Chains A and B, each alone.
Chain A
């Protein structure tokens, strides 16, 4: 017993003060990108050619980047001769509508909260069933981390539950493989209405690195309706937490600042 107490003291208090305080992220962390069309050279398609998932297109006005397909790999920034694309440290990335992930400047329309009636239902207590539907398991790992003392998801009233019948919604990771489509559908149907669905990670939004493989369905919304998209490969745990809190109306600022 004495040993346990001593160890407890050594380990200290570890819960982060998020959202009251901004998280401390490593200097090489890659968050929301910023695109500066004025730097683009005419006819240059270096970023488009470098991108492994066709997340970038070159339009008449400049580059357009689909964060839902982005792996945050920086292959594009390394290819760009003019530094027209750069990744900031801003971890806030979640949006409500799929098209809001398509960026062509430096702002992103961050997720707005659920409407009042849904917030009354889910705002104080949200039980989620997680469905892993393919992918590489890094998204699952960083969702799981939310249960550690550092993030302590429970303090916001959000929990992962064992049965879809106990759940208010699904948190889906993975591109939805052909072999998981049926199980995902059945799990979704087993959640009582009204229900919400979160797509976490590039895979669940677009198919991620596996986009357009015959073995996958290119994301959760090809099978079920999605209420919140959280990009990243995988998203940082703070990005996931931020998305959840925005959806529940605990964080309000709706536009990411340029930095």
Chain B
């Protein structure tokens, strides 16, 4: 099997599963229970949080464990909107967002919020200037993804964060789900107030994730209850999930430090191979994240490509997995100014550190065969 759909989900690492299993079976008590068993579990949870904080260079109290990216984005956006709505009702985002940002923002329109969806250029990028010009006196939040899940575009997060230091009342939320472990990430002093992470994109388990909330930032909680996670996310903590997430986080950051060139190399090999094939348009910019390449095979239905490759046990995807069941074009590719033909035929290859050059070469060969086969069949 050649698995090239790592932006949809990654295979959990053995160590992560073991960690989940061990934590579930041995540290099963409720961390809020007052007896010693509860105490042990609470300590484990706190140690996990400390380790996550150290890995990302932030404070323990700035970490909220969540169920993943969608929850993180919802908690951040709705949390800011509802908590600070008195001060203003304007939110800025982009046209190239994942549905968990895009639709969350749209949903707030029904509650009287105004959303500015900034257009992106052909590479999927907004500029710092665009963002700054969109700021109005009642703007409370800017929310956007760091690395685009469909095309790998890297937004100028650092520059926007720096610019926003001039606008201290505007909160800045970054969805770093596709960025974690793949591109540089600095939270302290970056101007970022909230940042979303997800476990299953970094070889962790589905249903695990984390939200960074800068210590002076207050949120209206989506869930009320027992005041867990500083009251921002009530509900008995998913200790095993949190612990396994922190393990996955540590492992991916180690890989990032030691092995990022490997991803870059895979990217180059794939790009070069694709450019040698006929009728292929690469949509991802070479300045994007190394692990995502989006392209179209002109005149070939993308679903056909996916099924043909699947027969050889090669797995890639069309646009993002979260919306691949919808039949229409990719909203992201349209936002980047691609033609409809290109926007309905986007294919996405996404790597993990475990993919090899041999796999990429085999994929290229099979892609070539598949295109040939399809064209022959159609005459």
A, B in one complex: no
Q: B-contacting residues of A (Cβ < 8 Å)?
A: none
Q: A-contacting residues of B (Cβ < 8 Å)?
A: none
